[in-house]
């Protein structure tokens, strides 16, 4: 007898993969070659904003064709409730500054959740040629290869990813937290895409990741990929990952990192 939830996850994953790949092709092929040269000009920023909005319209249009009764929560404002109980969480370009400058670490992030629980997540990074995917309880994959976190290293040997917000006061506070953290770990990396950073934890390219100020579309898909690859994720001690604080790392590293970030006040500006 077919498990309805398993069948739903399979359908949602297929839809998310196709939507993400369609948007990836559009963004890769539609990006002007001279955008990086003009990166300091407001017109270049306008182009990226237009691509962001167009990518979200492409994704939500496709979702509407395939799953017309579902709701959507989108970064660029394409948000509406559906009647099916399924909600899509869409980031049409995660890592827009990287996209603007022609750096490869940008992606399309799409997750589907039901009753507050994320069922599937897809992070498609076209310039890396990589697609990460996960379904709740069914593991995480990079392409067709199972994704697994690195075993927890000693704290002093951990390579930790993070990000910084756009508000000046928040950035100053985040820099202060990083200043205290960097002597205690192997090094810190700042990639520019929360979704990719979470997936890098999932495949062992980072030992851990933390950031304050994320939105649901930044982390919904990457959080599931990381968890299904064996990472622990959360916010402040005892709380789930949220905009206040996001932490991801394998067991044994997660706990001391989360505790240190709590002590350093990484959860407030």
Residue 78's pLDDT is 77
Q: Give the model's confidence band at 131: pLDDT under 50 very low, under 70 low, under 90 confident, else very high.
A: very high
Q: Give the model's confidence band at 48: pLDDT under 50 very low, under 70 low, under 90 confident, else very high.
A: confident
- 216-229 pLDDT, tens per residue? 999 999 999 999 99
Q: Is residue 59 a known part of a binding site?
A: no
pLDDT at 44 > cutoff 80:
no
pLDDT at 39 > cutoff 60:
no
pLDDT at 269 > cutoff 70:
yes
Q: Is residue 110 a known part of a binding site?
A: no
- What's the pTM? 0.96
Q: Is residue 75 a known part of a binding site?
A: yes
Q: Is residue 94 a known part of a binding site?
A: yes
- Which residues lie closer than 8 Å to 218 by C-beta, 6 or more apart? 91, 94, 109, 194, 195
4-138 belongs to CATH 3.30.540.10: yes
Asked if 161 and 189 touch (Cβ cutoff 8 Å), the reply is: yes
Architecture of the domain made up of 155-264: 3-Layer(aba) Sandwich (3.40)
Where do the domains of the chain lie? 4-138, 155-264
pLDDT at 263 > cutoff 90:
yes
- Among the listed residues 212, 209, 201, the one whose alpha carbon sits nearest the alpha carbon of residue 164: 212
- 161-213 pLDDT, tens per residue? 999 998 899 999 999 999 999 999 999 999 999 999 999 999 999 999 999 99
- 8-29 pLDDT, tens per residue? 999 999 999 999 999 999 999 9
Q: Is residue 93 a known part of a binding site?
A: yes
Residue 77's pLDDT is 81
- Among the listed residues 180, 177, 157, the one whose alpha carbon sits nearest the alpha carbon of residue 250: 157
CA distances from 188 to 27, 104, 209, 251 (A): 29, 19, 9, 19
Q: pLDDT: is 43 or 235 the higher one?
A: 235
Residue 46's pLDDT is 79
Residue 2's pLDDT is 79
Residue 37's pLDDT is 60
- 69-120 pLDDT, tens per residue? 999 999 888 788 999 999 999 999 999 999 999 999 999 999 999 999 999 9
């Amino acid at each position: 007898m077919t498990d309805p939830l398993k069948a739903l996850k399979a359908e949602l994953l297929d839809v998310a993969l196709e939507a993400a790949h369609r948007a990836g092709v559009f963004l890769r092929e539609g990006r002007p070659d001279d955008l990086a040269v003009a990166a300091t000009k407001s017109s270049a920023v306008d182009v990226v904003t237009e691509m962001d909005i167009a990518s979200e319209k492409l994704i939500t249009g496709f979702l509407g064709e395939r799953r017309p009764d579902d709701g959507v929560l989108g970064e660029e404002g394409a948000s509406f409730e559906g009647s099916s109980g399924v909600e899509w969480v869409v980031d049409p370009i995660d890592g827009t500054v990287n996209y603007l400058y022609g750096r490869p670490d940008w992606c399309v992030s799409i997750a589907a959740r039901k009753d507050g629980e994320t069922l599937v997540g897809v992070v498609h990074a076209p310039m890396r040629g990589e697609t990460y995917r996960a379904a709740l309880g069914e593991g995480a994959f990079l392409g067709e290869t199972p994704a697994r976190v690195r075993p927890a290293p000693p704290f002093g040997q951990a390579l930790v990813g993070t990000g910084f917000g756009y508000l000046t006061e928040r950035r100053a506070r985040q820099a202060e937290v990083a200043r205290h953290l960097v002597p205690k770990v192997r090094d810190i990396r700042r990639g520019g895409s929360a979704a990719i950073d979470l997936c890098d934890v999932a495949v062992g390219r980072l030992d851990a990741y933390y950031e304050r100020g994320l939105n649901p579309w930044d982390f919904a898909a990457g959080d599931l990929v990381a968890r299904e690859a064996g990472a622990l994720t959360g916010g402040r001690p005892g709380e789930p990952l949220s905009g206040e604080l996001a932490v991801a790392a394998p067991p044994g590293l997660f706990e001391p990192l989360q505790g240190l970030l709590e002590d350093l006040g990484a959860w407030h500006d």
